[in-house]
Amino acid sequence: MNEDDAYEAKLVGTFPDTLSYSGVRSHQTTLEKPIICTANQNGSQADCELGNPFKRDSKATFYIILSTVGVTLDTTEINIDLQLQTTSVQENMALVKVKAKVIIELPLSVSGEAVPNQVSFGGVVKGESAMKTEEEIGSLITYTFRINNLWKSLKTSVKASLHIQWPKWNKDGKWLLYLVKITSTGPEDVLCSPESEINSLKHIQDVSASRTKREIGERKIVRKMSSLADKKNVLTCDGQIKCVVLKCPLQGLDGTALELRSRLWNSTFIEVTVSVSPEGAAAQHSGVPWWIILVAVLAGVLILSLLVFLLWKCGFFKRASKDQYDAAYHKAEIHVQPSDKDKLSAEA
C-alpha cells in the first residue's frame, strides 16, 4: 500500500478443503506489533489484522500456518486466495491466487534377509536337462523382503512397486540363482512380473517348502565353513553378473512381505574357482579358531601366576638364614645332652 495510510487494513485468506488455518507467526524485525489472525469455525478462512492504520509505505512479513490433515495421496495441488481489504480508498488490491504443487514422500522402509546366510556346494557337475527336481540344482536359499509404512494407513489406490534385481546368470551366461517360487503375505496377494522368470525350467519339479533332511544337513556343513567367512567376493549387477528386474506391485503397504524361494546352482560354482572351498575341503579348515587358543593360553598364565602368588604369601619360597640354621642346630644339641646324662646316671 503505497498511497495514504490504510485504516482497518487486513488480509483475508481463503483455503481449500484439504487445508485449514492453524496459526500465524510474525516476523518481528519488520513489524511494530505482532499480527493477529482470526479464523472461522472450520478454518477455511482467516482474517489477519495488519494495523489501524497501516502506515503509508509500510511492509509486513508474517507466516500463516496451515494444517495438512485433509491432504491425501490423491492431492496433487492446492489453491489459496489472498485478498487485501481496507476502509480507505486504495488501488491495486486485486485478488491474489496462490497455487502450489503437492509432492508426498512416503516414509517407507524395506528390510531383507536371506536364510541361510551361507550355503555350501560340492559334488559333480550336472547338466540342466538331467535335473528332475529342484533339490538337484543345489542348496535352498529363501529371501524375505518386508515393506513397512511409517505413516498413517494408506488406501489401496496407492501405486507402489518393489523392484528386485535378481542375480540370474554369471558373466558367462551360466546359472547363479534359480528362482523357484514367489509368495507374499499382507493385505493382498502380490503378483511379480515377468512370470516367465519364476521356475522357468518347466521340467524341474517343485518340492515342499518345508525343511528336508538334506537342507538340515546343508546347514550343518555351513557351520564347518564358518571359519572361511572372512574370504568374500561380492558380486554386483554392474557388469560382474547378469541380473533380471522383478517388478512386484504392492497393493497394500502395511506389513507386506515377499518371500522368494531359490536354489543356488551347484554346477556353476563347481566349475568356477572361488575363494570359498567346496564341501570336501571344508573339513580341512574346521580347526579350533585362533581366538579360543589365545584365551586358553592367557587363562593358563593367569592361573599359574595366582598359584605362585599364593605360595609366596604362605612363605613357601623363603630360605632360612645361617644364623637361624645355627640356632636350630644348637637347640637340637641341647635337647640331646640331658638324655645322655640320664643314661650315665642309670649305669652308675
Closest by CA position to 56, among listed 96, 94, 86: 86
Per-residue pLDDT at 82 exceeds 90: yes
Residues 16-44: tens digit of each pLDDT? 999 999 999 887 655 567 888 999 999 99
Residue-by-residue DSSP string for 259-313: EEEEEE-HHHHHHS--SS--HHHHGGG-S--HHHHHHHHHHHHHHHHHHHHHHHH
Residue-by-residue DSSP string for 152-176: S---TT--EEEEEEEEEEETTS-BS
Q: Which amino acid would we find at residue 88?
A: S
98/81 Cα distance (integer angstroms): 6
The number of beta carbons lying within 10 Å of the beta carbon of residue 328 is 10
Q: What share of the chain is helix, strand, coil (3-state, %, to 5)?
A: 25, 30, 45
Terminal-to-terminal C-alpha distance of the chain: 151
pLDDT (average), residues 175-184? 92
Tell me, what's the pLDDT at 326? 56
**C-alpha torsion 246→251→256→259, nearest 10:** -30
Q: Out of 2-11, 59-68, 106-115, 259-268, which region has the weakest mean confidence (pLDDT)?
A: 2-11
348/340 Cα distance (integer angstroms): 13
248/186 Cα distance (integer angstroms): 13
**C-alpha torsion 204→263→136→279, nearest 10:** 170
Cell 492453524 locates to: 22
Across the chain, mean pLDDT equals 76
List the beta bridge partners of residue 77: 101
Residues 95-134: tens digit of each pLDDT? 899 998 988 777 788 888 999 888 877 778 888 888 888 8
Residues 253-278: tens digit of each pLDDT? 667 889 999 999 988 888 764 443 34
φ and ψ of 278, to 5 deg: -70, 180
Q: Out of 49-53, 275-279, 319-323, which region has the weakest mean confidence (pLDDT)?
A: 275-279
CA angle 309, 311, 317 (to 5 degrees): 105
Tell me, what's the pLDDT at 277? 37
Per-residue pLDDT at 227 exceeds 70: no
Tell me, what's the pLDDT at 275? 40
What percentage of residues in the chain have a pLDDT greater than 90?
Answer: 24
Cis status, amide bond into 194, omega within 30 of 0 = yes
Task: Give Cβ neighbours of residue 91 (< 8 Å, ≥ 6 apart).
Answer: 3
Closest by CA position to 31, among listed 47, 48, 50, 46: 50
Tell me, what's the pLDDT at 295? 81
Cell 554386483 locates to: 236
Residue 79 · residue 99 · CB < 8 Å? yes
Q: For residue 282, give the C-alpha cell.
A: 571344508
Ordered structural domains, the chain, with CATH: 9-101 (2.60.40.1510), 108-285 (2.60.40.1530), 290-347 (no CATH)
163/285 Cα distance (integer angstroms): 39
Per-residue pLDDT at 181 exceeds 80: yes
